[in-house]
A and B are shown apart, each in its own frame.
Chain A
Amino acid sequence: MQLASLYQEIILDHYRNPQHRGLREPFDAEVQHVNPTCGDEVTLRVTLKDAGGEPAVADVSYDALGCSISQASTSVMTDLIIGKTVREAMEISGEFLALMQSRGEGEPDEDMLGDAVAFEGVSKYPARIKCALLGWMAWRDATGRALDGPAGQPDGGQPDGGQPGEQPNGQAGNGRIAAEAAREQT
């Protein structure tokens, strides 16, 4: 059954026991991304730190509603990138994006992607790629905002100044970013 190659045990493990889940403070930026076609959503916060003169990922915390693929992918991502420099984490996310657009023909760098290689099967299902990318795109967006905004400001990622969950326009905008990013990969 093809399903087993899509839903590898690692993915189901992360789905059942998501890592680093929950929203923590303080944070440098917070974003909400949605998948407009299915309504899946993630609220994700990043906290950066200084690591010998370059920014590094101190923490990624999140709250998400979604399918096993999107939940597990976000969980695996936090395991991979917390503690890395932003540059290293961006490289990892770039490698993951490349894997997702590989249509099952990719040769993922296992050293770099770790558990994330389990998502190779997802690349054969174009409709699911945006599920796997939801958390990753949210992290890239949040990190960009954190680097742009003043560090240590809890509202740094809330340019509209509203409350999370009460920004239909902001959500749609972020969702569009996620959707476009996903389309670029498919």
Chain B
Amino acid sequence: MTATGYVTADRAAGDRAAGDGTAAGAGAAFDVAAVRADFPILTRTVRGGRPLIYLDSGATAHKPRRVLDAEREFYTAHNSAAHRGAHLLGEEATDAYEGARARVAAFIGADPGEIVFTKSATESLNLVAYAMSNAATAGPEAARFRVGRGDEVLVTEMEHHANLVPWQQLCQRTGATLRWFGVTPDGRLDTSNADDLINDRTRVVAVTHQSNVTGTIPPVGEIAALAHARGALVVADGAQSVPHQPVDVATLGPDFLAFSAHKMLGPSGIGVLWGRRELLEAMPPFVSGGSMIEMVRMEGSTFLPPPERFEAGVPAAAQAVGLAAACDYLDALGMPSVARHEEELTARALQALGGIEGVRILGPLTTERRGGAVSFTVDGIHPHDVGQVLDELGIAVRTGHHCAWPLHRALGAQSSTRATFYVYNTPGEVDALADGVRQAQKFFAR
């Protein structure tokens, strides 16, 4: 451990091997019972004293004790404004914050200087979209980010609103044209017209790395290769992928990757934008103010290099430290093991739900290139009503369009019920979900 008590990137590997007595330090075998013991919230009961069956991690994940302790430890012993203050606590807070940056970078195979802390994945995506319109009035170094009339911005029909609306808005501000990949009836990305969609007018391609509704994993690497051949930037939404599968930005393909801490066992209030160094260096700022300036005069200001250029205001150091602890926890479990565990649960859910008459699963029916979000409709029962019956049974799911309204429209569903899985979920909980759906059918058939 470092002097301030935080695990930095170069220490993380050793920490992983040594173990720390929690499930995440226990080694290769995935012991879900031991994992569950690390999550205090799983001991509480819900409606009528029932145990909590939490199948809504796609919305937000629970936090292991290690993350809670890391945040508390920061506030208890080191709390101060990072990158300010000529005092010891200020130094410790800065070390903690920068140590967290290095830890997050190591988690996705990036350089620390390429990690920008934001408030959320949503803000990360907005950062790039706003930087692109701000490029219109920035210096010549920002030319690569300029977009205007005649240019095209390419998205997909399966995006979460967070990776769709900012691009619609960018087009509105700049006069660029929004285009999009459609989806196939089974919820895959329809890339049949990729050669038309990705052309010399394409300035940026924004694509999800894993659908939050269907779990679909689009061919982000192939899309990036096509886009790069035309000189377009590629922005990937990793909010649903980084928490659930091994992600290495060196081989992934896109130029930018957005994700949030709270979906990967970390605290709420902090997100990440990874960007290629040379692009971040040329990119104009989005939010401006303190911390991000180099020199301020009344007539105008100059800005710091990345990542600080994109981090105006006092940094969320405690949250960054919590996120670093979440990275430690996940890496100790091993991301390949995490992905394998979720694949088992997803396969079980696809089979159990798919076997119920009247249930229609949105998206791929196998786990091939598919993550652990299982959305479905039940004939004759509105998702809100399905969710209500499940809630009565202690099963937490999400209902509605899950911030992906166009995707629901494309798949012919007004809304759906969604179950999402994470490290602490068990096969028994998947079975309980299927039982619950049958109970809902029985209840509304009466």
**Which residues of chain A have a CB within 8 Å of any CB of chain B?**
1-3, 6-7, 12, 37-40, 65-69, 125, 128, 131
Known: A3-B389, A128-B388. A39 touches B408 (CB 8 A): yes
A/B interface sample: 27 pairs, CB < 8 A: A2-B47, A2-B48, A2-B392, A3-B392, A6-B388, A7-B385, A7-B388, A7-B443, A37-B400, A38-B399, A38-B400, A38-B415, A39-B400, A39-B401, A39-B408, A67-B382, A67-B383, A67-B384, A68-B382, A68-B384, A68-B385, A68-B444, A69-B384, A125-B388, A128-B384, A128-B388, A131-B384
Compute how far the CA of A3 lies from the CA of B382 in the bound complex, rounded to whole angstroms. 15
Most buried by B among A2, A7, A67: A67
Contact of B388 among A3, A40, A66 (CB under 8 A): A3
Contact of B384 among A1, A2, A38 (CB under 8 A): A38
Contacts of B446 in A (CB 8 A): 12
Q: Is B30 an interface residue (CB 8 A)?
A: no
Question: Is A65 touching B414 in the complex (CB atoms < 8 A)?
Answer: yes
User: Which B-chain residue is minimally distant from A34 (CB atoms)?
Assistant: B405
Question: Is B392 touching A38 in the complex (CB atoms < 8 A)?
Answer: no
Compute how far the CA of A69 lies from the CA of B444 in the bound complex, rounded to whole angstroms. 12
Compute how far the CA of A125 lies from the CA of B399 in the bound complex, rounded to whole angstroms. 15
Most buried by B among A38, A68, A125: A38
B186 → chain A closest CB, angstroms: 22
Compute how far the CA of A128 lies from the CA of B399 in the bound complex, rounded to whole angstroms. 12
Compute how far the CA of A30 lies from the CA of B60 in the bound complex, rounded to whole angstroms. 38
Known: A7-B443, A39-B401. A1 touches B408 (CB 8 A): no
Contacts of A131 in B (CB 8 A): 384
Compute how far the CA of A38 lies from the CA of B416 in the bound complex, rounded to whole angstroms. 9
Contacts of A128 in B (CB 8 A): 384, 388
User: Which A-chain residue is minimally distant from B413 (CB atoms)?
Assistant: A39
B182 → chain A closest CB, angstroms: 19
Per the 8 Å Cβ criterion, residues 401-416 of B in contact with A are 401, 405, 408, 414-415
Compute how far the CA of A87 lies from the CA of B400 in the bound complex, rounded to whole angstroms. 35
Compute how far the CA of A95 lies from the CA of B414 in the bound complex, rounded to whole angstroms. 31
Question: Is B47 touching A67 in the complex (CB atoms < 8 A)?
Answer: no
Contacts of B47 in A (CB 8 A): 2
Instruction: Beyond A39-B414, A69-B384, A125-B388, list 18 extra A-B contacts (CB 8 Å).
Output: A1-B392, A2-B392, A3-B392, A3-B443, A12-B444, A37-B400, A38-B399, A39-B400, A39-B401, A39-B405, A66-B384, A67-B382, A67-B385, A68-B382, A68-B384, A68-B385, A128-B388, A131-B384
Most buried by B among A12, A39, A128: A39
Compute how far the CA of A132 lies from the CA of B47 in the bound complex, rounded to whole angstroms. 21
Compute how far the CA of A125 lies from the CA of B47 in the bound complex, rounded to whole angstroms. 12
Compute how far the CA of A125 lies from the CA of B392 in the bound complex, rounded to whole angstroms. 11
Compute how far the CA of A1 lies from the CA of B443 in the bound complex, rounded to whole angstroms. 11
Contacts of A66 in B (CB 8 A): 382, 384
B239 → chain A closest CB, angstroms: 18
Compute how far the CA of A3 lies from the CA of B391 in the bound complex, rounded to whole angstroms. 10
Question: Is A38 touching B401 in the complex (CB atoms < 8 A)?
Answer: yes
Contacts of B401 in A (CB 8 A): 38-39
B443 → chain A closest CB, angstroms: 6
Contacts of A3 in B (CB 8 A): 388-389, 392, 443
B328 → chain A closest CB, angstroms: 34
Contacts of A65 in B (CB 8 A): 414
Compute how far the CA of A7 lies from the CA of B386 in the bound complex, rounded to whole angstroms. 12
Per the 8 Å Cβ criterion, residues 278-320 of B in contact with A are none
A148 → chain B closest CB, angstroms: 30
A166 → chain B closest CB, angstroms: 14
Q: Please, what's the 1-or-0 string for B317-337, where 1 marks a CB less than 8 Å from any CB in chain A? A: 000000000000000000000
User: Which B-chain residue is minimally distant from A37 (CB atoms)?
Assistant: B400
Per the 8 Å Cβ criterion, residues 385-433 of B in contact with A are 385, 388-389, 392, 399-401, 405, 408, 414-415
Contacts of A39 in B (CB 8 A): 400-401, 405, 408, 414-415
Most buried by A among B383, B392, B399, B415: B415
Known: A1-B392, A3-B389. A38 touches B383 (CB 8 A): yes
Contacts of B443 in A (CB 8 A): 3, 7
Contacts of B399 in A (CB 8 A): 38
Compute how far the CA of A1 lies from the CA of B385 in the bound complex, rounded to whole angstroms. 15
Contacts of B385 in A (CB 8 A): 7, 67-69
Compute how far the CA of A128 lies from the CA of B388 in the bound complex, rounded to whole angstroms. 9
Per the 8 Å Cβ criterion, residues 360-400 of B in contact with A are 382-385, 388-389, 392, 399-400
A13 → chain B closest CB, angstroms: 12
Contacts of A12 in B (CB 8 A): 444, 446
Contacts of B414 in A (CB 8 A): 39-40, 65
User: Which B-chain residue is minimally distant from A65 (CB atoms)?
Assistant: B414
Compute how far the CA of A40 lies from the CA of B388 in the bound complex, rounded to whole angstroms. 16
Contacts of B382 in A (CB 8 A): 66-68
Most buried by A among B382, B383, B414: B382
Compute how far the CA of A131 lies from the CA of B408 in the bound complex, rounded to whole angstroms. 20
